[in-house]
Structure 1
Amino acid sequence: MPLVRHLRRAVLSVFACLALAACMAESSATLPAKLPAASGPVDTIVLGMGCFWGAEKRMSALAGVVDVESGYANGSIPATYKAVLEHEQALQRGKATGRNHAEVIKVSFDTAQVTLEDVLIRFWESHDPTQGDRQGNDVGSNYRSAIYTDSDAQQTIALATRDAYQKALAAQGLGTISTEIAPLQTYGAAEDYHQDYLQKNPNGYCGLGGTGVVYPRQAGAGTSPMPAHPVAVATALDASSLDANRQLVVFESNECPYCEQFKRDVLDHWKSPVPVARSLSPDAPQGWSLQKAVFATPTIVLFEHGKEVSRYTGYSGEQERFWKWLGFRLLTPEQQKIAFEQGTERPFTGSNLDEKRAGTFVDPVTGVALFRSDSKFDSGTGWPSFFNPLEGAVTLHEDESAGMKRVEVRSASSGIHLGHVFDDGPPPTYKRYCINGNVLKFVPDPGA
């Protein structure tokens, strides 16, 4: 994901994906209106929350904030986006030394309208400060959580709010805050195209996602900078309600549009033979184990016998890639060769050739219906043959492989290769859908 994000930025979000709802602008990609002018003294503080696009959008919405500027802070290199990316890559390869800048925002706020504590409460609740050099899918020291202060008074308030929020996190079983709190040493404004980016590009990437833990405000304290919808930290799934042999778990988070998109695209139409469950907790089902922590949502994990065997992290509409990932776990090597390498089983060797019962032939990965048995006929070719697929079940593609011109048949739901279609079938269609039997699953009608 960091590479994808870098490419998106380089081409100004040509390959844009849905941003978190709290980071989305309104439907039109208009230039942002100016924030209201200050009526009292203005103070500033520099904050790092990972992606500065989302941080800028989130903090700009706080009443009393008069300006938010994206920038780079507290590094020992030139303060440019290119320099930050190249230095981080060199650090990860062990080819460089020296501290990288953090992506930050410089928040200017009217002290007559909002307090520094309120600003920092919004900061704590708007991201996950326990992740170290990472925020969601964005990994690297340039994405570190940070508060860079310009006075002892700011430092004192930053430490006090950190300690208060740490208690709230600990009460919910969450980890230790890793936010760097230090005086501001160096700062440089980011390039113009990074400023107000999500308002100029409402479909741009935003990786922010909070912990769901509400800051513990005292009675009579400043007003809440976040919407009044506290979210309780969810408990792990009860393993007794799951399939111990093989189970998919979708790890989600609140206010996660990628999760909602996955639900719309995939879960709302789920027919796969693997049972699936959703969890707002980042922890494995009780008594089960993850190979590593869940750090982004949605993350889809396949468990077998209570242990993680594979995972799929992140989703932005690439259904075929998701089904291919699952298919490599569900299908035999023989099936994989057909499904993903356009292979062909030897004639008269595949399954379902002689299946004559009333029923439906379905995609072995998605479980979506492909052909009804009443469209099946004996073509004598050695492969299951059908004169008509179910409506919308397959897609057709030109195929010039093997020195021939043919029409390939793929499953519309998963994209797997099924076979080819020819014009020598029986009426009424005169088509012969010549399908590899090993990538068909037969589901008989009740009583068949």
Structure 2
Amino acid sequence: MPAVTDSVVLGMGCFWGAERRMAAIPGVLDVESGYANGEIAGTYDAVLAHEKMLQWGKTTQRNHAEVVKVTFDPAKVDLEKVLIQFWESHNPTQGNRQGNDVGTNYRSAVYTNSDAQQAVALKTRDVYQGALKAAGHGAITTEIAPLQKYFTAEEYHQDYLVKNPNGYCGLGGTGVKYPVAGASTAMPQAAAKAPRLEAKALNFERQLIVFESDDCAFCRKFKADVLDHWQSPVAVARTLNPEPPVGWALEKALFATPTIVLFEKGKEVSRYTGYNGEKPRFWQWLGFHLLTPAQQKIAFEQGTERPGTGSHLDEKRPGTFVDPITGAALFRSDTKFESGTGWPSFFNPLPGAITEHVDVGHGMRRVEVRSASSGIHLGHVFDDGPPPTGKRYCINGNVLKFVPDSDKKAGK
């Protein structure tokens, strides 16, 4: 343990997911789940019971927030970097809610141990608020205050997702990057000399535009990681000019590159600023605009459709089932079979199309299947399938898109 350490207490919804997110920061020495800044006993049962009393209007005492105490080595990571991870890892505009968790105990909070920490917290909040506003989000509701009370949570809450690798997380950030040097390049004034994109060459209904600059290493990285493999159903175009096509509208001026802007009917609906290799976060940002709420629940919250209700159960045409966000091929129709389960089933994925992960949720031990290109949840794989693999990839049809071979032959 270093001779000098520092710590800050952060509330970002369920502490299980928060613990994992913050522990991933280089220089963080320990992350402990706990309860903070309430007026009651500091136990899990007390917090849950008190929240019910608040909802019923039977008490006015303040409940604790579920928090994590992050201890770090200031020689390796400063508080600003810790807080950048905090802001990006949850939605700080939701008040007393994160994901499916609703209640004052799930409030967003930064509880500080000094005036200096308070100043850094307020500064980073204001910087991130600017980025959120530019992306169309509302006001930050995070409570920033001195730490008054702190209780360590029960042992079974500590390192929960280490003990349960596929347990509930509940965290979902906004997809908005904190605007710092090293993740984006300032938009140069000279870029305005580049020709603007022509609207007639774009898709008025839905179009992505990547605003770049000549000397932008992060633009090149985004091109290599994402654009060079683009199969998404959304049309994409690149430009060195910071202005949209004539007749189209940005919400506000661009301040960094790359900035990826989603336009619908010629108007900006969302933007993703900066890129430094976080492909899953980019695809999740885009996915929230392409998928329905029911699809989002499956893709991002490990949900499932009711058997017999999903898409493609009776699909038998020659073709390919693809990721609905990236367009990457997942399964061929000649590996599909009737399993009688009520979900589309396949005995083999395409090479490199999926990744597998141990899932111990719902009192079972299963193997989860995700799309390798976007990271979205697809379903599970079991060992009761037909030859030649003996596998049954049980997939939610609502997060598959089917592309018939006839479309390819027709050049569609």
- TM-score in terms of structure 2 length: 0.57
Equivalent position SS for 1:282 = coil
**1:234 paired residue number:** 194
CA distance 1:93–1:397, change in 2 (3 Å)? closer
Counterparts of 1:356 and 1:364, CA distance in 2: 19
**1:205 paired residue number:** 182
User: What code does the residue aligned with 2:244 have?
Assistant: A
- Is residue 240 of structure 2 the alignment partner of residue 269 of structure 1? no
Counterparts of 1:380 and 1:208, CA distance in 2: 53
- Is residue 373 of structure 2 the alignment partner of residue 396 of structure 1? no
Displacement over 6 Å in runs of 4+: 6-10, 82-86, 91-94
**2:396 paired residue number:** 436
The correspondence for 2:219, drawn from 237, 259, 266, is 259
Mapping of residues 364-379 of structure 1, within 5 Å:
364-379=324-339
- Is residue 76 of structure 2 the alignment partner of residue 11 of structure 1? yes
**1:110 paired residue number:** none
**1:436: how far off?**
0.3
Mapping of residues 83-98 of structure 1, within 5 Å:
87=119, 90=122
Mapping of residues 300-379 of structure 1, within 5 Å:
300-379=260-339
The CA deviation string for residues 319-346 of structure 1, in whole angstroms up to 9 with x for no partner, is 0000000000000111111101111101
**1:417 paired residue number:** 377
User: What code does the residue aligned with 2:267 have?
Assistant: K
Counterparts of 1:367 and 1:358, CA distance in 2: 17
* Contact 2:196 2:245 (C-alpha < 8 Å) held by counterparts: yes
The CA deviation string for residues 40-65 of structure 1, in whole angstroms up to 9 with x for no partner, is xxxxxxxxxxxxxxxxxxxxxxxxxx
User: What code does the residue aligned with 1:322 have?
Assistant: F
**1:446: how far off?**
2.0
User: What code does the residue aligned with 1:399 have?
Assistant: D
Equivalent position SS for 1:425 = coil
Counterparts of 2:371 and 2:124, CA distance in 1: 41
* Contact 1:395 1:410 (C-alpha < 8 Å) held by counterparts: yes
Mapping of residues 56-71 of structure 1, within 5 Å:
none
Equivalent position SS for 2:256 = coil
**1:233: how far off?**
2.3
Counterparts of 2:75 and 2:327, CA distance in 1: 39
**1:352: how far off?**
0.3
Counterparts of 2:125 and 2:301, CA distance in 1: 34
Counterparts of 2:280 and 2:406, CA distance in 1: 31
**2:44 paired residue number:** none
Counterparts of 1:83 and 1:255, CA distance in 2: 40
User: What code does the residue aligned with 1:366 have?
Assistant: T
RMSD: 3.4
The CA deviation string for residues 272-331 of structure 1, in whole angstroms up to 9 with x for no partner, is 000000111111121100111111111111000000011111111010000000000000
**1:347: how far off?**
0.6
User: What code does the residue aligned with 2:219 have?
Assistant: C
Mapping of residues 167-186 of structure 1, within 5 Å:
none
* Contact 2:186 2:255 (C-alpha < 8 Å) held by counterparts: no
- Is residue 311 of structure 2 the alignment partner of residue 246 of structure 1? no
**2:52 paired residue number:** none
Counterparts of 2:121 and 2:291, CA distance in 1: 37
**1:292 paired residue number:** 252
Could you tell me which runs of 5 or more consecutive residues in structure 1 were left unpaired when the two chains were aligned. 17-81, 95-132, 138-203, 214-230
Counterparts of 2:210 and 2:248, CA distance in 1: 14
Could you tell me which runs of 5 or more consecutive residues in structure 2 were left unpaired when the two chains were aligned. 1-24, 29-72, 82-113, 135-180
How many equivalent residue pairs?
A: 257
Equivalent position SS for 2:218 = helix
CA distance 1:272–1:9, change in 2 (3 Å)? farther
**1:366: how far off?**
0.3
Counterparts of 1:212 and 1:305, CA distance in 2: 27
Counterparts of 1:206 and 1:344, CA distance in 2: 35
Counterparts of 1:396 and 1:359, CA distance in 2: 24
* Contact 2:308 2:342 (C-alpha < 8 Å) held by counterparts: yes
CA distance 1:431–1:86, change in 2 (3 Å)? same
User: What code does the residue aligned with 1:242 have?
Assistant: L
Tell me the percent identity. 65
* Contact 2:231 2:328 (C-alpha < 8 Å) held by counterparts: yes
- TM-score in terms of structure 1 length: 0.52
Equivalent position SS for 2:388 = coil
Counterparts of 2:203 and 2:345, CA distance in 1: 35
Equivalent position SS for 2:243 = coil
**1:236: how far off?**
2.1
Equivalent position SS for 1:446 = helix
Counterparts of 1:290 and 1:257, CA distance in 2: 24
